[in-house]
Amino acid sequence: MAQATGTALVYDEQMSRYKLLWLDPACELEVPERLTVSYEALVQNGLSGRCVSVPVREATDAEILLAHSEEYLEAVKKTPYMSLEDLMTFTQQYGDVYFHPNIYHCAKLAIGAALQLVDNVMTGSVRNGLALVRPPGHHSQHSAANGFCVFNNVAIAAQYAKKYHGVKKVLIVDWDVHHGQGVQYCFEDDPSVLYFSWHRYEHQNFWPNLKESDHDSVGKGKGAGFNVNVPWNQVGMENSDYLAVFFHVLLPVAYEFGPDLVLVCAGFDSAIGDPEGHMCATPDIFAHLTHLLMNLAGGKLCAVLEGGYNLSSLAQSVCQTVLTLLGDPAPRPTELHGPCESALESIHCVRSSHKQYWSCLKHAADMLSYEPSTKHRKVMEGALISQNQDEQGQKTEEGSTTELVFPELLQRVAPAVRTALVLPDAVECTDGCAHFSAKKAPDPLALNRLSMNGKESGDEASLTALANLIPVIEKMEKNEIQNCLALVPDVSTAAATVVQQANTSLTKRVLVVWVGEGPLPTQMMGDEKTLLVHLGSKEQEDLNSKYYVPISLKKGCRDTAGLLQALLGVLLPLGFQFNPSLVLLVRTPGGNVATAVWQQLTCLLQGLAQGRTLVLMQEKETSSISATASCLLGNPAPSLGPLGAPMPDNVEALERLGHRLQAHWKLLQTTAAASRRSAPCGYTPSSRMKPPSV
Ligand code: Q9C
Ligand code: ZN
């Protein structure tokens, strides 16, 4: 089947036609404007026009019964005919939810919107999409409404995808700030649906105050290991905390799982300014979260709106998500200083709880019996504190929350040319790219630049190839070209030239990702403007350099699971924290990396440097041109399928490397302070394997 393209937007303003009809402080945040404001923002930013508009429909009884009981459905069916008084009474049997004569209709449309999205993605008429819906779904349960939710839109969508599209494995990523306990209950013993949720928890002091929202609820029976909870035990979590959880918990597990479809419970109450979440992650983080999920399942991603109660934060976050689904480069993340201590405790705990279920976590540190730094408070005492904190969300006359101060939506301007190809003349072209010959007579200015850099001694062919690269790099700097694939006679010389050229400006930082064996150009062993990460098989000496990171893997790049672990757990955290303005991806001849893994690498690295990626390959590697160009053009990498276990030696080596580097690069941390202090010193692979000598 041809590569699916396009982003669906499933929306109908009908879903804004219900509201709270009585006084209830717990529910007044859930307003119709949440939906209209989100949609208006998409229109204003020209994004709805770039999406494929997909109509909603009402879900059928059979579809609702995929996740709910008949008794509950029959009860909800009566609500359109109830008096106000009866609606209030009906509402009272559930927690933090309200009914309205029109909510049953809207709830059926919300499910139908999610199912329309799944249909369009699964049949390949679009690649991905967002359903903007009300009421939300992830708190609703088999026989209960809860937390503004009536029917479980995403749970039903997952069951539907399995039943009607033959989907074998579904990943549900719940980035809403609340625990989607309804989704957890639905799939607790089901190994075909992996549910991940992070949520404000505060040691059970935050709503819904459940024991089963903690990190040790991992699923039951055959589903053990397929429920991943990351509790936030403090408010104020930032971009670094969210990214650290993706790099060290969600992504390794998700890639090992190998889903056929990704569903996102896309709640934006986890963004800054939200009166429920009290978190500090900025709206642009959703561009990165989205991008990081877009190469799973061959790009089949369906996002469905859940929470989000600060209208301005919500609208910005929705726009960032859709921009990324459409393929626009994500903005550069702002200063990431690494996860906070409380987030590290959570990460440490969840990795430890799951180590027996996932190969990628097999060597994760055990929890120690140290006293946690974030003290466990008594539930009742804490509940009072949470309630008082919530008073700070001030209300305007209309009942919407006043806007807090956070960065404006960063305007993203996509370059006119997405992908430039610099190829030897005889080489076959790939569609959709701009071509730059490597053999045409070079620009004299560029030649002059090269000779100033001491390159005049090289042979004419390689000099010409280099000279033709320079105008492309300049265009990338001017935002006229986003990325480039160049085939050159000698990758080593070309890489050195590019780094030299890029470093001429003071603010430029280059991340060099060197795949395969050397020779590494000696003049680029790394400095504060050049971070060099070398993925290869040669045993490296344990250099203690911050800017030269050799990742040596046994069997080189052929241990797919090991390489993925290196990519997700080391390269991406380093890259995000370094925050380059250009990524230079170099593949040496005979690098021996499988095409599908190379594509994951190429795709994921485009989350950095606003997608400014320059790929250098050896002239003769013409068979990789179309696979590489496809990734640079924004097509998803093909699914790797479920991953096996990485080679134990490689896991050990990565663990050791992480410990060595985490003093410099805090985004590599995966453990809380108490265990981190003891880990790096006296740590050897063999001491890990043997029981401690008493
Ligand atoms: N201040 C969704 O985000 N409880 N639901 C609020 C505590 C209800 C959130 C009371 C929160 C429900 C979809
Ligand atoms: Zn929520």
Q: How many residues does the chain have?
A: 694
21 CB under 6 A from ligand 1? no
Q: Which residues contact 500 (CB under 8 A, 6 or more apart)?
A: 453, 523
Alpha helices per DSSP H over 123-232: 153-165, 181-187
- Mode of pairing for the β-strands spanning 193-200 and 417-423: unpaired
CA–CA separation, 576 vs 667, rounded Å? 8
CA dihedral 62, 66, 67, 73 (to 10 degrees): 10
Q: Which amino acid is at 354?
A: H
Query: Burial code of 164-187, b = ≥16 C-beta within 10 A, e = fewer?
Result: eeebebbbbbbbbbbbbbbbbbbb
Under 8 Å between Cβ of 133 and 15 = yes
Query: Which bound ligand lies closest to the C-alpha atom of 305?
Result: 1
Q: Do domains 7-403 and 417-635 have the same CATH topology?
A: yes
Q: Dump pLDDT digits (tens) for 469-480.
A: 888 988 998 999
Point out the ligand 1 atom lying closest to the alpha carbon of residue 390. Answer: 1
CA–CA separation, 150 vs 143, rounded Å? 10
Q: How far is the CA of 270 from the centre of ligand 1 (A)?
A: 12
Tell me the domain boundaries of the chain: 7-403, 417-635
Known catalytic residue at 215: no
The H helix count followed by the E strand count for the chain is 23, 16
Collapsing DSSP to helix, strand or coil, 2 comes out as: coil
CA–CA separation, 289 vs 558, rounded Å? 28
139, 248, 291, 534: the catalytic one is 139
Dig out the tokens for 47 from the structure.
């994004």
Mean pLDDT of the chain: 88
CA–CA separation, 529 vs 618, rounded Å? 25
Q: Dump pLDDT digits (tens) for 225-252.
A: 999 999 999 999 999 999 999 999 999 9
Q: How far is the CA of 599 from the centre of ligand 1 (A)?
A: 40
Q: How far is the CA of 381 from the centre of ligand 1 (A)?
A: 20
Q: How far is the CA of 309 from the centre of ligand 2 (A)?
A: 9
Using H for helix, E for strand and C for coil, what is the string for 61-78? Answer: HHHHCCCCCHHHHHHHHC
148, 198, 209, 401, best to mutate for ligand 1 pocket (most atoms within 8 Å of CB): 148
26 CB under 6 A from ligand 1? yes
Q: Dump pLDDT digits (tens) for 22-80.
A: 999 999 999 999 999 999 999 999 999 999 999 999 999 999 999 999 999 999 999 99
Which listed CATH number (3.30.70.270, 3.40.50.10210, 3.30.200.100, 3.40.800.20) goes with 417-635?
3.40.800.20
Ligand 1, atom 13, residue with closest C-alpha: 307
What pLDDT does 523 receive? 67
Q: Dump pLDDT digits (tens) for 160-178.
A: 999 999 999 999 999 999 9
| Range of lowest pLDDT (26-30, 167-171, 284-288, 538-542) | 538-542
What pLDDT does 542 receive? 59
Q: Dump pLDDT digits (tens) for 498-535.
A: 888 887 776 689 999 999 887 777 667 778 889 999 99
DSSP state letter for 275: T
Q: What share of the chain in percent tops pLDDT 90?
A: 71
Paired strand residues for 47: none
Across 206-216, average pLDDT: 98
Cβ neighbours, 10 Å, residue 86: 13
In CATH, the number for domain 7-403 is 3.40.800.20
Ligand 1, atom 6, residue with closest C-alpha: 26
DSSP state letter for 32: T
Under 8 Å between Cβ of 118 and 161 = yes
Collapsing DSSP to helix, strand or coil, 590 comes out as: coil
What pLDDT does 391 receive? 35
* Residue 82 reports pLDDT greater than 90: yes
